[in-house]
Amino acid sequence: MSTTTQDAPVEQAGPDEEETNYLNHETSIWSWLTTKDHKRIGVLYCISLAVVFLVAGVLALLMRAELSGSGQTLMGNDTYNQVFTMHGILMVFLFLVPSIPAILGNFVLPLQIGAKDVAFPRLNLASWYVYLAGAAFTITALLTGGVDTGWTFYTPYSASTGGGVLWMTSAIFVAGFANIFTGLNFIVTIHKMRAPGMTWNRLPLFVWGMYATSIVQVLATPVIGITMVLLILEQTLQIGIFDPALGGDPVLFQHFFWFYSHPAVYIMILPAFGILSELIATFSRSRIFGYRAIALSSVAIAMLGFLVWGHHMFVSGQSAISSIVFSLITYLIGIPSGIKVFNWVATLYKGSIWLQTPMLYALGFLFMFTIGGFTGIMVGVLSVDVHLHDTYYVVGHFHYVMMGGSVVALLGGMHYWWPKITGRMYNETLGKIAAGLVFVGFNLTFFPQLVLGARGMPRRYANYAERFAGLHQLSTVGSQILGLGLFLILGYALWSLAYGEKAPANPWGATTLEWTNTTAVPIHHNFERIPLVTRGPYDFHLADEVFGGGDGEALSDDVPQIPDPAPSAPSETDPTESAGV
């Protein structure tokens, strides 16, 4: 990879002094709250989402604590119902759906394609504020009586309960716009803002994952918007679309809801696929096996993901013919997901595998996502799903996909990009311990749930039959280990912010632009010179300069640049002139 020759940017300080970067070029709170820099918006999102994850995670621990005994142990039924509802809503709508795109997508995507920013920086900032508005609505919902409908808001129950339902549905409507803005921004950015030479075949797979995700966000989110609007109108004006008492059809609501919420699963998992490809490639130092298959299968999953929502409704009273069609198409999605797993494992073959913390998460992901996939095949079987639907098997299944897949990938990604975001290294030993705790805790929590479900334990039960108690207790212990691991991560992450070792520009020896062409912490405009891309994203063997003869530690200014093989990239305007536009 090489860069063009161009006059040195103005703001660049000498090597001895503290370098000016996106974190310190302006330091007032105001400059953060009004920033249009995609990196800062990523950081803002990271802080907000961490808070939501913490709250929703504590709720999960409370739920597991309540379930440690078969009767009432910690809270009454009403409280329990509100707790699992809030856990679901916060995790799905306010954490998982925005998580990877809003944090890592925002931070990494423009860097990876060699752009100075996303296409619409103002919209990007608006997205964060809209998200905060959604969060504010959620808090209002809690203060006005809470919500106990489950995150699915099934009618007619949602029409008859909870003072907070109106606020909560409004919150989801509002927060949906944040996702639409992000998705729209990424689609345009990927189409129009790629650096010279960054062809579609040279896009890092994280970008492909974000692209597929954005398509789903843009196409699906408006439908949850209109669904929530109709739900609100149903409660205020009693328009009878969903409520049977008014002549509506409750199953129609489920169609509307799952038309969004099933693709939303792909909003959560597709970016995780992207992260995984980056991690596996970098830490095995080999080109992703079947790059094209992985890239295109993401887009295929995004599209097919819209055709399968009815597999949540096999026992809902929908027509048998549509159950059958939905089941068939569901299997068609299983195949591209399988292809990805096989390709990732094949990438390890004859690689040079470096077991750093992010790679541990990646390998953990492979194990847990595979279980998530197989249990998905199980609940996709028409007749078996009749037995498993709405039991803990389903709970276990989607946690294996959402938490074991999406969240674990996010954790891996956060560790991987942590040096780039903060300029500091985390503690590798603690990182490995935490990864182990998360892995053990997670499996101990959710594998017993698969067994519980298959044995007939229904979900959303505050109390349960005595014979389920043993496995429930096991699951509770697992959740505590998992919680311990996550708190450990929070702890050493905060520690690293203050005391962490200074990170080099490319600590992992990665080959994508955010590592090779930026300073340790990227500058406000990302690149000193717009890169000109001359090779694929994972061509480790072609990227001699990347490693600097070592594991990447040595890379920075002293690495000799390869002579420019191609004509100059477009000159960029003086960064100071239009700064902050």
Residue 348 as a binder of other proteins (CB under 8 A): the answer is yes
Restricting to residues 394-433, name those near other proteins by CB under 8 A: none
* Closest separation in Å from C-beta 300 to other proteins: 12
Residue 40 as a binder of other proteins (CB under 8 A): the answer is no
By CB under 8 A, name the one of 83, 109, 174, 184 that touches other proteins: 184
Residue 503 near residue 553, CB atoms below 8 Å: no
Residue 572 as a binder of other proteins (CB under 8 A): the answer is yes
Residue 535 as a binder of other proteins (CB under 8 A): the answer is no
| 300 burial via Cβ count (<10 Å: 0-12, 13-18, 19+) | middle
By CB under 8 A, name the one of 75, 132, 296, 381 that touches other proteins: 381
What is the pattern of x (binds other proteins, CB under 8 A) and - over residues 233-252?
A: xx--xxxxx--xxxxxxxxx
Restricting to residues 127-166, name those near other proteins by CB under 8 A: 148-150, 152, 154, 156-157, 160-161
Residue 353 as a binder of other proteins (CB under 8 A): the answer is yes
Residue 287 as a binder of other proteins (CB under 8 A): the answer is yes
* Closest separation in Å from C-beta 412 to other proteins: 15
Integer CA distances (angstroms), 21 to 37, 440, 503, 572, in order: 12, 39, 14, 18
**CA angle at residue 504 from 499 to 507, to 5 degrees?**
105
Residue 350 as a binder of other proteins (CB under 8 A): the answer is yes
- b/e sequence 359-383, b meaning 16+ C-beta within 10 Å: bbbbbbbbebbbbbbebbebbbbee
Restricting to residues 194-223, name those near other proteins by CB under 8 A: 194-196, 198-201, 215, 218-223
Identity of the amino acid at 417: W
Nearer to other proteins by Cβ, of 375 and 517: the residue is 375
* Closest separation in Å from C-beta 108 to other proteins: 16
Residue 189 near residue 112, CB atoms below 8 Å: no
Residue 338 as a binder of other proteins (CB under 8 A): the answer is yes
Residue 232 as a binder of other proteins (CB under 8 A): the answer is no
Nearer to other proteins by Cβ, of 284 and 357: the residue is 284
- Adjacent-strand bridge partners of 531: 3
| Nearest CA-CA partner of 302 in 274, 265, 327 | 265
Restricting to residues 85-124, name those near other proteins by CB under 8 A: 115-121, 123
- What is the token pair recorded at 271? 């970016």
| Nearest CA-CA partner of 298 in 204, 362, 371, 225 | 204
Between CA 298 and CA 213 the distance in angstroms is 8
Q: What are phi and psi of 214, to 5 degrees?
A: -60, -40
Name residues whose C-beta falls within 8 Å of residue 313's C-beta, 6 or more positions apart in sequence.
Answer: 251, 254, 255, 258, 323, 326
Of 6-14, 48-56, 96-104, 326-334, the segment contacting other proteins by CB under 8 A is 326-334
* Closest separation in Å from C-beta 454 to other proteins: 5
| Nearest CA-CA partner of 167 in 155, 179, 175, 178 | 175
- How many amino acids of this chain bind other proteins (CB under 8 A)? 164
Restricting to residues 296-315, name those near other proteins by CB under 8 A: 306-307, 309-310, 313, 315
- What is the token pair recorded at 420? 């780039």
Nearer to other proteins by Cβ, of 364 and 483: the residue is 364
Between CA 57 and CA 45 the distance in angstroms is 17
Residue 378 as a binder of other proteins (CB under 8 A): the answer is yes
Between CA 299 and CA 211 the distance in angstroms is 8
Nearer to other proteins by Cβ, of 157 and 495: the residue is 157
| Nearest CA-CA partner of 412 in 379, 365, 447, 373 | 365
* Closest separation in Å from C-beta 136 to other proteins: 23
Residue 182 near residue 221, CB atoms below 8 Å: no
What is the pattern of x (binds other proteins, CB under 8 A) and - over residues 494-533?
A: -------------------------------x----x---
Nearer to other proteins by Cβ, of 351 and 436: the residue is 351
| 460 burial via Cβ count (<10 Å: 0-12, 13-18, 19+) | middle
Nearer to other proteins by Cβ, of 177 and 206: the residue is 177
* Closest separation in Å from C-beta 51 to other proteins: 27
* Closest separation in Å from C-beta 523 to other proteins: 13
- Adjacent-strand bridge partners of 458: 391
By CB under 8 A, name the one of 229, 429, 494, 501 that touches other proteins: 229
By CB under 8 A, name the one of 2, 21, 48, 81 that touches other proteins: 81
Residue 75 as a binder of other proteins (CB under 8 A): the answer is no
Restricting to residues 429-468, name those near other proteins by CB under 8 A: 451, 454-456, 458-465
